[in-house]
Chains A and B, each alone.
Chain A
Amino acid sequence: MKVDHALRALDGILRREMLRSLRQRARLFSAMVRPLVWLAIFAAGFRSVLGLSITPPYQTYVLYEVYVVPGLAAMMLLFHAMASSLAMVYDREMGSMRLLLTAPLPRWYLLAARLLASVIVGLPLVYLFLFVARFWDVRPPILGYVAVFPALVLSGLMLGAFGLLVSSMSTQMENFAGVMNFVIFPMFFASTALYPIWRLAEAGRVLATIAAWNPFSSAVELIRFALYLRFDMVSMLVVVACLVAFFLAAVTGYDPGRGLWSRRGGEG
């Protein structure tokens, strides 16, 4: 694998992702509106939910709007990752993915490039949301916006790798509805995005345990801590470990020689 060749491929993939993302105005718009609906309407009804306890990294009592913003940023990454995985299925069915995978570059590299491109394309919207959230008095320190960048990239990669894995296992693009029901919603709701662990523990030990082990929770907490200039080592390790595991599994799944494709036989 030559470096300039590899970079050219990355450049091509990145451009393709950007062009596609910019052409999908409706998707861009809904990606921005979704967290704002949560913030403006859902969070408004829960304003006083957290007035009882101080949850790190916060040093004082916070309104629910403040609590939920990092979770909504992670939700944007999650939806983006899953939408991107839907695109992957589409690509595969329409053949462009297969064309990409025939490039004389290692498959893992092409998939990693696709993953990175997808995250980079998704980040500006997350930043836009974080700045818009200032109008709801969610005002983390200015440096927090810098510190949150690596946290967003890592979380985005981890969720993207998870999306790749999901897409490598699904056969049709109609499956996205199933992905919504069985992946996005459980991951999002059974996490610390909407409620801190202590609040979930009040509802039930099992739910709290699931949320604690949910890698999405780690992504949320990594983002939350970084936004307030704190570093959450455990969350970072979980996110990195999950990124590696999901990515390796996805690469295996995309290998026609060994993975699921061969088992599916002549289909597609």
Chain B
Amino acid sequence: MQILTTLLLVLVFGPPAAAETIYVSNEQDNTVAVVDGATMTLQAAIDVGRRPRGMALSVDKKTLFVAEGDDNRIDVVDLAKRQVVGQLPSGADPEFFVVHPDGKRLFVANENDNQVSVVDIAGAKIIGTVDVGVEPEGMAISADGRTVACTSETTSMVHLIDATALELIDNLLVDTRPRAAAFSVDGKQLWVSSEIRGTVTIFDTATRAQTGKIEFEVPGIRREGVQAVGIEMSRDGATAYVALGPANRVAEVDTKTFTVRRLYLVGQRPWHVALSGDQKQLISANGNSGDISFIDLENREVVKSLPVGRGPWGVVIGP
């Protein structure tokens, strides 16, 4: 009987979502929207600097770093207080960055300066720079913390950087206008999305050879309308999620076969996607429609789209 009741509750109200908080950077509102993951409601908007895009949690998950492209800095947001408590230098026009697993450094892509800046968090200063291609954007760091990948939009390359020596290791040519980079969970692959070609190229990190390419097709949408941007890897390593920009879709990709399992219809122009801690929910930040879409991965359906502000870009899920 109890099983029946539970089943009925689940059928009526959907599976209980984890009590997590979703943070969304609104590029045109200069805010970070705070959304309760369980109730799927907007809780607050934190005022931050101008043109916030890339975001990342600190290693202890108590702090959120937000890159402010037009203010040339990174805001430090205290998640308990829900306000900006400090600032870090970032170099010019920071768009995206990653936190080093040691929790002490940020690697920031400076879109206008064609370099990657390394920021010491405790000292709030730039401790090094690495020159890369034109318009660096996507950033990824391997789980072991040794390699940083940076894509440059205009050069159409992914640059591999030694995180300790702060030197370029290699440059790999990718499809036009690469946006995001992501390491596979086992660290053996590097995935790079191309906005113009609408593809994801996969490299073997040991040999640095291209081992696969994923093309996306959305029925009813012309090829130019399908652009690959944000990438998120599932913790079990079996699945990758790719935001398809103006195609208004998020693709679910099998990481073994490099095939698209299914497409989810989300709001307009999703930029980035993020997985909940229990890996059961995927959130997409939809830039043009000003909302985020909640995808229930167990039932394989988009359950809700919630308006969060103008120009949602980055999305991060915290405790």
Contacts and interface: CB of A to CB of B under 8 A. Distances in A.
B221 A48 contact: yes
Interface string A33-69: 0000000000000011001101000011111000000
Contact of A61 (B11, B12, B302): B302
Interface in B128-168: none
Contacts of B248: 51, 61
Interface centre among A47, A51, A54, A229 (most CB of B within 10 A): A51
Interface stretch (A137-145, A205-213, A234-242, A259-267): A137-145
Given A51-B248, A51-B268, A60 B11 contact: no
Nearest to A49: B220
Interface string B230-268: 000000000000000000100000000000000001111
Q: Is the interface of B mostly helix, strand, loop or mixed?
A: mixed
Contacts of A52: 268
Contacts of A48: 220-221
Contacts of B219: 47
B221 A60 contact: no
B213 interface: no
B220 A61 contact: no
A47 B12 CA distance: 28
Interface residues of A, number: 15
Given A54-B305, A61-B248, A143 B11 contact: yes
A51 B264 CA distance: 12
A229 B14 CA distance: 12
A163 to B, nearest CB: 35
Contacts of B215: none
A60 B220 contact: no
Interface string A123-165: 0000000000000000101110000000000000000000000
Q: Is the interface of A mostly helix, strand, loop or mixed?
A: loop
B265 A62 contact: yes
Given A51-B265, A143-B11, A143-B12, A59 B221 contact: no
Contacts of B266: 60-61
B220 A47 contact: yes
Interface in A212-268: 229
Contacts of A47: 219-220
B173 interface: no
Contacts of B265: 51, 60-63
B303 interface: yes
A61 B304 contact: no
B301 interface: yes
B223 to A, nearest CB: 15
A51 B221 CA distance: 12
B268 A60 contact: no
Interface string A14-49: 000000000000000000000000000000000110
A51 B289 CA distance: 10
Interface string B287-318: 00100011000000111110000000000000
A60 B305 contact: yes
B12 A60 contact: no
A267 B146 CA distance: 96
A176 to B, nearest CB: 37
A61 B301 contact: no
Interface centre among A48, A52, A60 (most CB of B within 10 A): A60
A52 B290 CA distance: 12
Given A47-B219, A60-B305, A229 B12 contact: yes
A63 B266 CA distance: 10
Given A48-B221, A142-B11, A143-B11, A59 B304 contact: yes
Nearest to A62: B265
Nearest to B14: A141
A62 B265 CA distance: 7
Nearest to A63: B265
Contacts of B304: 59-60
Interface centre among B220, B248, B289 (most CB of A within 10 A): B220
Contacts of A143: 11-12
B220 A59 contact: no
Contacts of A59: 303-305
B139 to A, nearest CB: 30
A59 B303 CA distance: 7
B104 to A, nearest CB: 40
B106 to A, nearest CB: 34
15 contacts: A47-B220, A52-B268, A59-B304, A60-B265, A60-B302, A60-B303, A60-B304, A60-B305, A61-B265, A61-B289, A61-B293, A61-B305, A63-B265, A141-B12, A143-B11
Given A59-B304, A60-B302, A141-B12, 14 more contacts: A47-B219, A47-B220, A51-B248, A54-B305, A59-B303, A60-B265, A60-B267, A60-B293, A60-B304, A61-B248, A61-B305, A62-B265, A139-B301, A143-B11
